[in-house]
DNA sequence: GCATCTCTCGTACGCTGTACTGAAACTAGT
DNA sequence: ACTAGTTTCAGTACAGCGTACGAGAGATGC
């Protein structure tokens, strides 16, 4: 490939044998064979320990050694249950998405899509590390596909062309993730402030005082002074309503075109 | 720290002294003092080498040793130009965002916002590694703030309340990032197919055949059969128009409310 | 008892970011 | 020209990471 064409990292595009092995554990869970030494743990234990670590300390703190230590087990023992860290993360994501309380199939599209978005929103609040996974897509796990199926189902009978259904669900996903990201970031900063005796905010305000050039960023200054950046009331619902309005418009337009 | 409260990783929330040091290089670039040994490189060389590696091999391949090797220099030599990897990434992001061709200040809001989105879209195509940075927010660098300023400016005089301006620009950002992500992922898979003689696709299709349960995912099956997942024509423009329509609606509503 | 199978885990390798240290190279002051 | 001061360069080292390997432990089937 030409060196001028940007290439995403090969690491995230599994090579042939890998792509199957990576998902085998999820779609074809191994049943205990009865023979051989008894297992001290279950796969669920391992995934749960990983999730607990990621929930409290973030994804960077999730290492095989720490998961093993939390379970009182040698690091390499984990590899009996899980082929590697990548697959452990896939399993954690699947387990997390299985927690989603998805709307029923017969809900009106607007209620269904709103509930779909809100369920994700709450999930990301509970497991912010999902937003830290820097994969290109979510893994193709059962629970992730369940969620996708649910999202698509809300719109598939509205008369929208199939391609637009996919687009819109993608837009909703991106919106929820984006907003959850900044909300979590805000919470993290608030937390840092509490822990470090407001030195963090001192540093930050000195940044704004010393380096922020109001002449260069007049709009930001103006919005700041008008309180436009005070997001204590998260704008999730308002923005979501606006998004749903635009979906309504798309549906009306699709109906008119027929 | 309570184990029941999800905590984002402390690593991404710089401690007090850190938060200033991390941005100092960006807002207060050191001028050469003339004294002492001459530098073999410039800061620009280091940032450029890092960007080149990330462009071609992805963010995971970006290590201090590799950057140093590309410059024909010892690994530790980089630390005279850059305090650490985090700050190098900040600089790379700033440099990338400086490439944005932002719309002029006097453009009508719809043209301006569309151009703002498209500029980001093209940037992410050129530097997909930006989408791999798993930080909670982009760093507060000059070029990043320039871009934000531009986005906010397109809407600040439309009569929308300030808070909604911030919301909408956030929505546009999330949309562009989300769509760029899946586009890049698709390109990565196409590329993997080329390199590995279609074994990748063989594996993937065997996945669909062996594990995908059409009864569990009827909507996905239906959309698939209707070609709804064929995204060769990226739906950027269509989706963007839909988004802009919803912004128009919000503006009209804000006008009516006054 | 013995073969067979599975789980457990210490050791080790290569990779990472970077702290420390001292050598090398350059300028300024005398 | 020489010294003192300042800055860059880079080797070594350390802690941490994912994980390949292989020896041992414990269970089952014969």
pLDDT in tens, B154-163: 999 999 999 9
Say whether pLDDT at A179 is over 60.
yes
> Does residue B117 contact residue B238 with C-beta atoms inside 8 Å?
no
Q: How far apart are the first and last CA of chain B?
A: 47
Mean pLDDT of chain A: 88
What is the distance between the alpha carbons of residues B144 and B102, in angstroms, rounded to a whole number? 12
What is the distance between the alpha carbons of residues A14 and B200, in angstroms, rounded to a whole number? 8
Q: How would you class B45 by CB atoms within 10 Å of its CB: exposed for 0-12, middle for 13-18, buried for 19 or more?
A: middle
Query: 75-114 in B: which are within 8 Å (CB) of A?
Result: none
pLDDT value at residue A201: 78
Tell me if B217 and A149 make a contact (CB, 8 A cut-off): yes
Higher pLDDT among residues B61 and B198, named by residue: B61
A67 touches strand D (CB under 7 A): no
The total of other beta-carbon atoms located within 10 Å of residue A48's CB is: 17
pLDDT value at residue B187: 83
A73 touches strand C (CB under 7 A): yes
Tell me if B162 and A13 make a contact (CB, 8 A cut-off): no
Say whether pLDDT at A129 is over 90.
yes
Q: How far apart are the first and last CA of chain A?
A: 45
Contacts of A154 (CB under 8 A, 6+ apart): A103, A107, A109, A112, A113, A116
What is the distance between the alpha carbons of residues B202 and B230, in angstroms, rounded to a whole number? 18
pLDDT in tens, B88-140: 999 999 999 999 999 999 999 999 999 999 999 999 999 999 999 988 899 99
Q: What single DSSP character describes residue B130?
A: G
Which of A16, A166, A223 has its CB closest to that of B166? A223
pLDDT value at residue A17: 61
pTM over 0.85: yes
Percentage of the residues of chain A whose pLDDT score is greater than 70 = 89
Say whether pLDDT at A113 is over 60.
yes
The dihedral formed by the CA atoms of B219, B225, B231 and B237, expressed in degrees to the nearest 10: -70
pLDDT in tens, A215-237: 999 999 999 999 998 866 667 88
Q: How many CB pairs under 8 A join A and B?
A: 294
Mean pLDDT value of segment A151-161:
97
Mean pLDDT value of segment B13-21:
62
Say whether pLDDT at B189 is over 80.
no
The dihedral formed by the CA atoms of A49, B1, A130 and A178, expressed in degrees to the nearest 10: 170
pLDDT value at residue A16: 47
The gap between A83 CA and C15 C1' (Å) is 19
Which of A131, A132, A228 has its CB closest to that of B165? A228
Residue A2: phi and psi, rounded to 5, are: -60, 145
Tokens (6 digits) for A172: 């909703």
Write the DSSP string, chain A.
--TTS----GGGS--HHHHHHHHHHHHSPPPP-S-SSPPSS-HHHHHHHHHHHHHHH-GGG--HHHHHHHTTS-GGGGGGT-S-HHHHHHHHHHHHHHT--PPPTTS-HHHHHHHHHHHHHHHHHH-GGGGG---SS----HHHHHHHHHHHHHHHTTT--HHHHHHHHHHHHHHHHHHHHHHHHHHHHHHHHHHTTTHHHHHHHHHHHHH--TTT-HHHHHHHHTTTT--SS-THHHHHHHHHHHHHHHHHHHHHH-
Q: Which nucleotide is nearest to B79 (CA to C1')?
A: C18
Enclosing H/E stretch for B254? helix B236-257
Q: Which residue has the tokens 């999902």?
A: A130
Tokens (6 digits) for A210: 């010393």
Higher pLDDT among residues B97 and A11, named by residue: B97
* Whole-Å CA distances, A216 to A183, A220, B116, B149, B166: 27, 9, 18, 9, 18
Mean pLDDT value of segment A94-105:
98
Query: 227-246 in B: which are within 8 Å (CB) of A?
Result: 227-231, 235, 238-239, 242-243, 245-246
Mean pLDDT value of segment B6-29:
65
B218: which chain A residues are within 8 Å (Cβ-Cβ)? 149
Of the candidates B154, B96, B12, B240, which has an alpha carbon nearest to the alpha carbon of residue A174?
Answer: B240
């Amino acid at each position: 490939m030409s060196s001028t064409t940007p290439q995403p990292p090969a690491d995230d595009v599994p090579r042939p044998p890998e792509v199957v092995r990576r998902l085998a554990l999820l779609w074809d869970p191994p049943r205990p064979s009865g023979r051989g030494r008894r297992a001290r743990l279950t796969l669920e234990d391992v995934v749960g320990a990983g999730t607990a670590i990621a929930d409290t300390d973030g994804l960077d703190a999730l290492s095989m050694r720490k998961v093993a230590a939390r379970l009182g087990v040698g690091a390499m023992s984990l590899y009996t249950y899980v082929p590697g860290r990548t697959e452990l993360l896939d399993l954690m994501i699947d387990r997390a998405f299985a927690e989603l309380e998805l709307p029923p199939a017969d809900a009106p599209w607007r209620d269904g899509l709103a509930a779909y978005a809100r369920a994700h929103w709450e999930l990301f609040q509970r497991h912010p590390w999902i937003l830290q996974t820097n994969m290109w897509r979510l893994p193709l796990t059962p629970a992730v596909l369940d969620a996708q199926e649910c999202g698509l189902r809300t719109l598939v009978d509205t008369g929208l062309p199939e391609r637009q259904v996919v687009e819109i669900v993608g837009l909703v996903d991106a919106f929820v993730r984006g907003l959850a990201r900044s909300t979590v970031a805000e919470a993290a900063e608030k937390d840092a402030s509490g822990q470090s005796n407001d030195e963090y905010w001192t540093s930050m305000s000195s940044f704004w005082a010393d380096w922020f050039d109001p002449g260069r960023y007049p709009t930001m200054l103006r919005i700041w002074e008008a309180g436009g950046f005070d997001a204590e009331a998260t704008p999730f619902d308002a923005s979501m309503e606006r998004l749903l309005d635009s979906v309504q418009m798309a549906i009306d337009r699709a109906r008119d075109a027929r």
